[in-house]
Amino acid sequence: MLRTDAGHKPEHMVFGAALTTASFLCVAVMSALGKVAGQLTSTGVVVLFQNLIALLFIAPIALRGGWEPLRTEKLSLHILRAASGTACWYALFVAITMMPLTNAILLSFSAPLWMPVIAWLITREKSSTATGFGAALGFVGVVLVLQPHHHRFNVGTLFALAAALLLAVALMSVRWLGATEPMPRILLYYFLLSTVMAIPIAVIQWHSVPAQAWIYLLGIGFAQLFAQVLIVLAYHYASSVKLGPFIYTTIVFTALIDWVVWHHPPTLFVVVGMVLVIGGGLVAIRGKSETPLASIES
């Protein structure tokens, strides 16, 4: 998940880009592990351990100065970010058990294309012409990936698209939080609230977890932790606006993993769709206007 930086610091784009790329490599690995774990246990259990393991490591760091980091005037935004993020991962983990990993990730990480629409609905923020053009281009790519005239309907598609909408909300809420909240507090609230939200679902869906599944659950938790730590470090070197386009490296990494591990080489439609989604997303990111923070009610 991304945030906006405050203040002006010397930038080192090479370091920032490398750390961001490593972060989204962790996201790709986490998604692949989630696909396997989803065959061995319930999605609720996967989401619970994804956040619980990260919480156990983040909490001591965030709270090393006492309980002061928990004080916030943006609780509603923290809840929105946690709810949308948790629901996003739940939907994504369901989707990747029902369709090729590459397709699910490509559809889910089309989130930047939906952000102008959501921004307009929430704040009536007007998007630039470039943003509208980029979003339209990306949506053509989404249609190519879906290939509605070639495939039977797959309900996993609905989960993947739902994940995209939820991810867009999560990304925007972190952008709003990042204007005033320090990153340790954002991470602490996210993992704490997400763990609490995931517990009831995990309890309802709980069943005997085979020993093999625990390996994948631990891997998912640590991949989530590393992804968050790396992206936080990346923002010490460059702004989130400049590093935002690197979100699409996840799609490339996932396609390679899907090809090597599950022997699902991307079809021509998926490759073209991937190019359009990534290209459209880059145009949309570069052309988007900033949301007036004063218009966001916390």
pLDDT at 2: 40
pLDDT at 239: 66
Higher-confidence position of 267 and 116: 267
Q: Is the dihedral of CA 209, 215, 218, 219 positive or negative?
A: negative
Model confidence pLDDT, tens digit, residues 34-56: 999 999 999 999 999 999 999 99
Model confidence pLDDT, tens digit, residues 220-236: 999 998 988 888 778 77
pLDDT at 234: 81
Model confidence pLDDT, tens digit, residues 170-228: 877 877 787 788 878 888 999 999 999 999 999 999 988 899 999 999 999 999 989 88
Model confidence pLDDT, tens digit, residues 242-265: 676 778 888 889 999 999 999 888
Structure tokens at 28: 């790709």
The reported pTM is 0.82
Higher-confidence position of 266 and 218: 218
pLDDT at 110: 83
* Cα dihedral 61, 67, 72, 77 in deg (nearest 10): 50
pLDDT at 293: 36
Taking the CA atoms of the chain, what radius of gyration do you get in angstroms?
Answer: 18
Structure tokens at 53: 């393991």
pLDDT at 118: 75
How high is the mean pLDDT of the chain? Answer: 82
Judge contact between 13 and 241, C-beta under 8 A: no
CA geometry: angle 121, 296, 82, nearest 5 deg: 85
